[in-house]
Each structure stands twice: as structure tokens, then as C-alpha cells.
């Protein structure tokens, strides 16, 4: 089982001062910075693109965990690699095996990591299961893509449980990233089912002390692991 990692989602901060959001992640000891890219087609919001990733890149060496909620990831993946993304997660809903393979080759040729993301109602497709050993991260969304600050959808838990078991059995070593509505109160539910990377937007940036909120999530997750 991979170690606990905390990934603040800067979408939850004031988009006019994203440098500050990254600074908070760094100060709080986050493991990676989660960057939510939404194109207004795949999900009902428009956030930011490679230009923003590039502008933030000099601020930190932390892993840039780029979650592409876009309909045509093939067309943009190189732009995000050029901008400094370290992990690029693409949605299973807009890909199939051959298209994923092409994208995978592009990312791996640059030495970066690939993840596969699924929406709350999506089951992991067969082609993705067959490629589990290739990906570094499986992003299990626990809210519908679009916005920060939604409540975690607990109906995803049986699927997460199965995914946790499959990843454990195959020993592929992929991180299981939980994305959506993560708060100290539900960390136990996702960590006990195998989630190890906790994305938190509001769970960090809407707190009074966001720097401290990062260690609160970490301590909670580590304590579940110790039990």
C-alpha cells in the first residue's frame, strides 16, 4: 500500500491569487498540488489551462498533479507537459484503449506520470483495468466534476472498496486518489478502502487555517492506517 499523500486543489482558492494557494500548499507540507482543468464541455465550468500551470511552475518543486476534465485530452497533453505538469490524469469516459495508449506513450516519452480518472457513476472500464500496471494513479471522483465545495458522494464507497482490492491484489502499486468533498470527517471512509492520495479543495482552502488543515488531514489519514 502506498503512503498517504495530501493534494490540495487550488481551484478552491481565489483564482486571482493562485500563487498564494500554491504557497499555502508548500507551507502546509502538501505532497502534490492538484490542478483542475475544466473545458466547459466535459464538465460545466471553465477553469484554467497550460498557461496558468506554466506561471505557477517556478513557485515550487512539488508534484503538479493535473486533472484534465476535458473532452479532448489528446490535443492538449503536450501543452501541459511543456507547462510543467508531472502527473496527467485523463478521464476514462472520453478515451478507449488505443487512444489511451497513444496518450500514454506521449507522456512517458517525457518521463512523466499518467493517471486515469473516473466520475462517481463510472465503473472502471475493461481497457483501464488491463492497463492498471501502467498508470501511477487511479483518480476516483467522489463528486461530479465541475466545482469545489460539493459534498462527498458516499454511494461511491462500494466501487472504491472493489478498486482498492483490485489494486492491492495485482500489486501494481498505483496510487488511489480520492477527489471530491474530502474533509477530516470522511477521511476514515476512504482511507480504510484503500484511498491514499487525498485531494482537498474546500477541505484545505475554505478552512480558517488552511496551512494547518493540510496536517489535520494527514494526521487523520495516518491514524486510520495505524488502526
- Interaction of residue 150 with ligand DX5, rule CB under 6 A: yes
Closer residue to ligand DX5 in complex, CB, 112/119: 119
Local structure of residue 17 (DSSP, 8 states): G
Q: Which is nearer to ligand DX5, 69 or 135 (CB)?
A: 69
Of positions 77, 202, 213, 221, contacts ligand DX5 by CB under 6 A: 202
Residue 36 annotated among the catalytic residues of the structure: yes
Cell of 218: 494527514
Cβ partners under 8 Å of residue 227, min gap 6 = none
The item of Zn ion, ligand DX5, none sharing an interface with residue 163, based on CB under 5 to 8 Å by kind, is: none
Q: Residue 175 in contact with residue 198, Cβ under 8 Å?
A: no
Residues 128-147 vs ligand DX5: string with x where CB under 6 A?
---------------x-xx-
Question: For residues 8-37, which are near Zn ion according to CB under 5 A?
Answer: 36
75 Cβ contact partners less than 8 Å away, ≥ 6 residues apart: none
Catalytic option among 31, 36, 86, 175: 36
DSSP letters of 164-219? Answer: HHHHHHHT---EEEEESS--GGGHHHHHTTT--EEEESHHHHTSSSHHHHHHHHHH
Neighbours of 147 (CB within 10 A): 18
Residue 67 is a binding residue for Zn ion (CB under 5 A): yes
Out of 5, 21, 32, 36, which residue is the one contacting ligand DX5 (CB under 6 A)? 36
34 belongs to the binding site for ligand DX5 (CB under 6 A): yes
Cα separation, 214 vs 29, in Å, equals 7
The set of cell numbers assigned to 9 is: 486543489
- Active-site residue, from 31, 96, 179, 209: 179
Q: Which does 50 bind (CB under 5 to 8 A by kind): Zn ion, ligand DX5, none?
A: none
Q: How many whole angstroms separate alpha carbon 97 and alpha carbon 78?
A: 19
Grid cell at residue 147 = 466545482
Is residue 179 part of the annotated active site? The answer reads: yes
Tell me the window of 48-56, 62-70, 106-114, 210-218 that interacts with Zn ion (CB under 5 A).
62-70
Residue count at the site for Zn ion (CB under 5 A)? 3
Q: How far is the CB of 125 from Zn ion (least distance, A)?
A: 19
Site for Zn ion (CB under 5 A): which residue of 31, 86, 113, 179? 179
In DSSP terms, which residues pair with 34 in a beta bridge? 9, 65
Instruction: State the residues that interact with Zn ion by CB under 5 A.
Output: 36, 67, 179
Q: Which residues are catalytic?
A: 36, 179
Amino acid at each position: 500500500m502506498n503512503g498517504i499523500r495530501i493534494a490540495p486543489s487550488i481551484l478552491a482558492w481565489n483564482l486571482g491569487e493562485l500563487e498564494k494557494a500554491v504557497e499555502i500548499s508548500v507551507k502546509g507540507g502538501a505532497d502534490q498540488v492538484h490542478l483542475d482543468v475544466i473545458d466547459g464541455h466535459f464538465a460545466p465550468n471553465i477553469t484554467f489551462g497550460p498557461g496558468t500551470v506554466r506561471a505557477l511552475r517556478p513557485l515550487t518543486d512539488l508534484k503538479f498533479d493535473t486533472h484534465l476534465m476535458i473532452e479532448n485530452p489528446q490535443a492538449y497533453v503536450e501543452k501541459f507537459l511543456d507547462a510543467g505538469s508531472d502527473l496527467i490524469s485523463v478521464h476514462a469516459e472520453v478515451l478507449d484503449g488505443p487512444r489511451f495508449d497513444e496518450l500514454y506513450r506521449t507522456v512517458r516519452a517525457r518521463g512523466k506520470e499518467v493517471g486515469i480518472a473516473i466520475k462517481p457513476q463510472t465503473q472502471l472500464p475493461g481497457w483501464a483495468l488491463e492497463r492498471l500496471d501502467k498508470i501511477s494513479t487511479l483518480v476516483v471522483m467522489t463528486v461530479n466534476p465541475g466545482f469545489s465545495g460539493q459534498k462527498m458522494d458516499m454511494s461511491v464507497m462500494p466501487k472504491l472498496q472493489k478498486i482498492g482490492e483490485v489494486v492491492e491484489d495485482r500489486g501494481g502499486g498505483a496510487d488511489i486518489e480520492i477527489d471530491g468533498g474530502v474533509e477530516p470527517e470522511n477521511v476514515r471512509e476512504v482511507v480504510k478502502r484503500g484511498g491514499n492520495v487525498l485531494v482537498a479543495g474546500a477541505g484545505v482552502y475554505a478552512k480558517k487555517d488552511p496551512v494547518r488543515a493540510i496536517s489535520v488531514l494527514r494526521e487523520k489519514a495516518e491514524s486510520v492506517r495505524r488502526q
